Structure 1
Amino acid sequence: MHDIHGTEKGCYDRLRWYCRVIRETNPGSVAECEIDPVTSKFKWSLIFLDEPRIKNKYKDCILVAVSNDANDDLFTIGYSIVDAENDAVEQLFVGSHHSYCLRHLVDNFVKRVLRSYQKHNKKHWSSVFKKVAYTPSLQEHEQHINNIIDSMPLARVFIVQSHPQSWANALFLGDRWGVMNNNIAECWNNWVKLAHYLPIVAMVDHIHMQIMNIIHR
């Protein structure tokens, strides 16, 4: 088998050659392989993380990491069933730029800040908060934040504690390619929704079968 296909470790090094040949022999095709210049390891452009809760008395949760494949379809990188969410991101993704889901952040902004200002237009100020996140300009970023704080002084603490460098384009150190929400992980969660109500062995088997079905379809 190794004589025909090569070793598992060696094949990773041939990915760069493989992508180049695809582009050369199939004009118009897109094939990219990103390699970390420091570790020489294969890199994923974006990995989406989520921790859906299991619907049983033990209140465990599923940690899942997903991404998009070359056809922009859902690709399961890995998942784990644990008793609680902890600091897995800091331990397993050392040096990675961790970004927050804007949709959840806006929801928290509405609950923790806007509810204290009943006369304010929730839709308008949610839109202004999104402008803080989307603008690539540091000057515009600060203008939108000042606009919010001038109208709602309580927003200052919320914004500082939310770590803007993890969700605002003007401050984020990595590349988000315009992806501001964790929708793909939410799709995965909905995809295996039935598993949330199953006993542990049946749950793992259901998720496994779902993944295998999409691989072989």
Structure 2
Amino acid sequence: MSFDQLRWYSNVVMEYNPGSYINLDFDEHNTRRFNRHFISFKASIDGFKHCRPLLFLDGTFLKGRFKGNLLAATAKDGNEGLFPVAFAIVDSENVQNWASFLQNLANVVDGDRVLTFVSDRHVGIIESLPTVFPTAYLAFCMQHLQRNLKDKMKYVNKLYRVGMVSKLRACAYAPTVTAFSEKIDAFIQSGRHIAINFLQDLEPHRWANAYFRGKRYGEMCSNAAESFNNWIKEVRNLPITHLVDAIKTQEMNQMSERRGASSTWAGAMCPVMESKLDKAYSDERSWIVSQSNDDVFEVHSHPSVLVDIGKCTCSCFQWQINGFPCQHAMVAFRNSGNNLNALVEPYFHVSTYQLSYFHTIYPIPTVEKPHANLKNYVILPSVVCRPPGRPKKKRIPSKGE
């Protein structure tokens, strides 16, 4: 019944939240089986325009009678908060469903911004993303890479595993090609055939800071996507229409709460970012600063670096990598006389944050919901598939058979 109610629910969402995007897909001509249901509310579509052009992709299992998976695209607001953009219920996490999800997502996000996606290495994402988002960048989640590396070292010494993972992280975080080359050599020498095998199909431009050309604002892991999965943990066992509506209610409440909270913020920066700025600004450094012109400074750290406040760059590359002023920039700023807020991207400003939550997700009343009629069902549930690796139960014959 709940699968068939998606028809009614989709229509009502568009009535009360016009401008939302919904795609309900099922086999209309043969089996009438459910395939997928994609949804993005108008308030989320408009709000994402004021978040960083960064999306985290992930999927999670559903626990209801008919199983299935939930795929999600999640962003972060200017205060590092979870910002759900779109999600879909699918019969399984496969290449076809990820391709469909990304095609629907392309109808939701602003095509004028260059996007960066952070995800695991699911083949559906890797194959579909370049076609659907040809100008976007894809970064692999560091936590997934670490788990993949550990899987290749199941039967080796634990201390050795920890050391190899640490060396892999050092490669990923290295800011320059020179530093990366040094770290990757140490990784290969320590791991030998394990390291060579692990790196065989792993292009550096997908995971290493030194080679990545998109902007991921220092986000090395798909933690926002995993936070979304944890956020919906309690509703994953609900029937499908109730599940979709429960997620809608959570998004609606979150938007309302954050809209109200941000109205009381007095500063120009979001609180989390303001705290980071204050810490960096007040950090006592004995570095000497030499000034070249109004924008360019040399900070005599170890080693010394060049800071260009006008271009928002530092030769340590941390400003470019994180999209947020590094400690060298903050030290140089003290000598510049510039407005500190101008050094920080608008996405971290309170005014931009408030625009993210300016719009409203409206409730979906059920007072006019039609009564269920078995004879009028159009959509049937998807076929339940056993999770990979679970053996089929053997039937034990009864006495006399």
- Which category of TM-score, normalised to the shorter sequence, fits these structures? 0.7 to 0.9
CA drift of 1:119 comes to 7.3
Q: Is the 1:51–1:85 Cα contact (8 Å) retained in structure 2?
A: no
Residue 94 to residue 192, structure 1, CA distance change in 2 (3 Å): same
SS in 1 for 2:175: coil
SS in 2 for 1:172: coil
Could you tell me which of 220, 239, 251 is aligned with 1:199?
A: 239
Residues 1:155 and 2:192 aligned together: no
Residue correspondence of structure 1 range 118-197 to structure 2 within 5 A: 118=157, 121-152=160-191, 153-197=193-237
Partners of 1:191 and 1:66 in 2: CA distance: 12
Taking structure 1 as the reference length, the TM-score comes to: 0.73
CA drift of 1:160 comes to 2.4
Partners of 1:148 and 1:116 in 2: CA distance: 19
**Corresponding residue number in structure 2 for 1:85:** 94
Partners of 2:132 and 2:251 in 1: CA distance: 23
**Corresponding residue number in structure 1 for 2:253:** 213
Residues 1:64 and 2:72 aligned together: yes
SS in 1 for 2:139: coil
Residue correspondence of structure 1 range 18-57 to structure 2 within 5 A: 44-56=52-64
Partners of 1:216 and 1:176 in 2: CA distance: 27
CA drift of 1:164 comes to 2.5
CA drift of 1:127 comes to 0.8
Which letter does structure 1 place at the counterpart of 2:62?
A: I
Partners of 2:186 and 2:78 in 1: CA distance: 41
Structure 2 regions of 5+ residues with no counterpart? 1-18, 20-48, 103-124, 258-401
Q: Could you report, residue by residue, the CA deviation over 1:101-141 in whole angstroms, capped at 9, with x for unpaired residues?
A: 101111111111x3354375222221111001000111221
Task: With a CA cutoff of 8 Å and minimum separation of 6, indicate the structure with the bigger relative contact order.
Answer: 2
Q: Is the 2:51–2:75 Cα contact (8 Å) retained in structure 1?
A: no
Residue 82 to residue 203, structure 1, CA distance change in 2 (3 Å): same
Partners of 1:43 and 1:208 in 2: CA distance: 19
Taking structure 2 as the reference length, the TM-score comes to: 0.41
Which has more strand, going by share of residues? 2
CA drift of 1:43 comes to 8.2
User: % of aligned pairs identical?
Assistant: 32
**RMSD between aligned residues:** 2.3
Query: Quick check: which has more Rg, 1 or 2?
Result: 2
Q: Is the 1:48–1:67 Cα contact (8 Å) retained in structure 2?
A: yes
Which letter does structure 1 place at the counterpart of 2:69?
A: C
Residue 43 to residue 206, structure 1, CA distance change in 2 (3 Å): closer
Residue 147 to residue 118, structure 1, CA distance change in 2 (3 Å): same
SS in 1 for 2:154: helix
SS in 2 for 1:99: strand
Residues 1:107 and 2:147 aligned together: yes
Q: Is the 2:51–2:78 Cα contact (8 Å) retained in structure 1?
A: no
